[in-house]
Structure 1
Amino acid sequence: MQKMKTTIGYALILGCAYACQTAEAPRKASIDAHITGLKDSVVYISGLNDEPAKSDTVPVKDGKFSWSGTVTDPRKVFISTSGQYMEFFMENNPVKIEGTVDSFYYSKVTGSASQDEHMGFEKSVKDITDGQWPLYQQLHVAKDDKVKAALEARIDSFRMAKRARIKTYVLQHPASPVSVALLADMAVMGEFAPIDSLYRQLDPVAKQSVSGQKLSERLIVIKRSSLGQTIKDFSQNDLDGRPVKFSDFKGKYLFVDFWASWCGPCRAENPNVLRAYNTFKGKNFEVLGISLDDNASKWKEAVEKDGMPWKQLSDLKGYNNEIAEYYGIQAIPSSFLLDPNGVIIAKDLRGTELQTKLAEILQ
């Protein structure tokens, strides 16, 4: 009888412990920020919801703002002011942010384990970042083609070095949300095969996270424009409202240039594309512009001002351009180089790299 009472007693203790554990409130996420000099009345926080298009509007008073709720899993979050933004990682823990409006992007974030991971990675590539930025500044003002080519080669070497470190990081941290985010960043403009190869090495937990599932969906889209794929025969109207198809250019090398009148880097690259066009137009080569404009007059004005004589197409839907959406164009300028059979043989050629590639195949 005594043994039965003891057994019942243990059962009651265990049952109470389980009940207390299950009754414990789930951990919540929160943000408490103080940004000195911030005069905006609201900030916009995106990435908290599982739907990427949704954002939270949070009131600001005396440079301070706060938010609380839950996030499904650790992820990258973005906070935007009227003129700046910052990004950081968070999970269901209290996060504190301190900074100044003049250096909002570099605000200090504490309380997030995944942010600490991210900062560890950033520290590991600081030598690359510090080496790259001065070269971009020099390239911006360089005039001589040989100087530009040398700078681009050095920048590319830094870029390849960073990709190698990303690969090492992902392989060493396959379950980390930082690994997922690094691959998602690569997938904005990167080539499908190497990103897919690393995605396959991720831990199932990372793949099944909300960010991991979005990355999987993104890979399906960018596979359509991977090297060796044949371009889909889309049709859009030119500047005169006449439909033009990709198949109209079959039999020629075709440089497909995604751009827009409002895109500063695109407009800066247009003279280089014009130079390529003038150099190779009589050698079985054409250029086709795909504009992500939504304003016909601004589109036409930019074409005329930049002196672009090649065919220009647009459905005037902005980033919702049918061709751009199908191929997952998320940043411009972006480009494909097609062979005479419409097969993608190169992507995102810019500067002297474009001239070199065309000379290689056309001369």
Structure 2
Amino acid sequence: MNSDSSEPRNEQNSDRARRFDWKTLGWGAAVSFLGLTLIVASGLSRTHEWTSALLLNLGAAVFLAVPLLAVTRVLTGKIKESEATFTARIEQVKADTDEKINRLAATLDARSTVLGWSTEDPDAEDLSTMEQICNLLHSGITSKHGFIVPFIKSRSIFVSIAAAGDHQLQVTPLDARQISGHNTSPKVNDLAPVSVSRDGSLNDLAAGALKSIGDAFPTAERLFNPIEFEDTLRSHIQALAALYQANHEDDSEGFRMIVNDQWALADDVLFPRRPGSLVELKQSTAGEQGWRPFMLGKSWVDPHQLDEGFRWAYGLGLTTAAAVEGDVAYSDDRWHASARLTD
């Protein structure tokens, strides 16, 4: 930006100002010495009263006025140098502010577009799924880590899709078999992430994910259903838009995924998809009761769907067994369905 080109110019001005300082001070010292010499000479010429007075006045003027002029010029140079530096800083702040304003405007435009999809806006049908993904990520509705959708649901393989700069997406396949398995402590295993161009197609995104999955799941390509994946993506994007639309006054940004019919997961919250209580994943309930016992006491809560939400939150590292169960002595690595969760 302008700041890059202005820095060398500012350095040149600064060097020139420093050279000017020394030159001016040197001349000032020389002239001051001359004035002092004239004053001394006036003292030696007292026998010639007129000459002595002339030398004295001339010497005093030179000794006092010329250094004052030199100092004034030095200070003027310093002021100009400071003014140039200050102006450059103002220009940089202005440029940074303009950039932030442009980014915010683009984010708000993307958010407005995404919110239109919450009611099955026909304009959404004119956009490709990749364009919908990019708008969703740019809207700020999803987490900075991206959002998660099923990829091969029959094998509990999901993908996390996140922004990676202005022109790339990062796609990370997730092995979530322990989330659905009720005999292990829930954990989500990340497979190798792949980069996909934002200008690419959904087929490019799927191909990158399948390549990453290949070694761990040799049958992945055979089991993958591209039509089902695209339908799933569009339905999840619409669901996230609708959820944000309904709860935009709450702390409802940062959504990670739609877990099931009852719950959505955000960075710090297990969010009800219908009117209900939020679960603050980083905090325990009053009296250290634990979120799971507390929420199971509510008539609208489905135990199986609640447990699925907790297992995802725990598997992604968003909560702890102690916060869920309310038992600080409960070991995290032993927290699984056969011990506590609903069968």
Greater strand proportion? 1
TM-score > 0.5 by shorter chain: no
The bucket for the TM-score relative to the shorter chain is: under 0.3
Greater helix proportion? 2
Normalised by the length of structure 2, the TM-score is 0.28
Normalised by the length of structure 1, the TM-score is 0.27
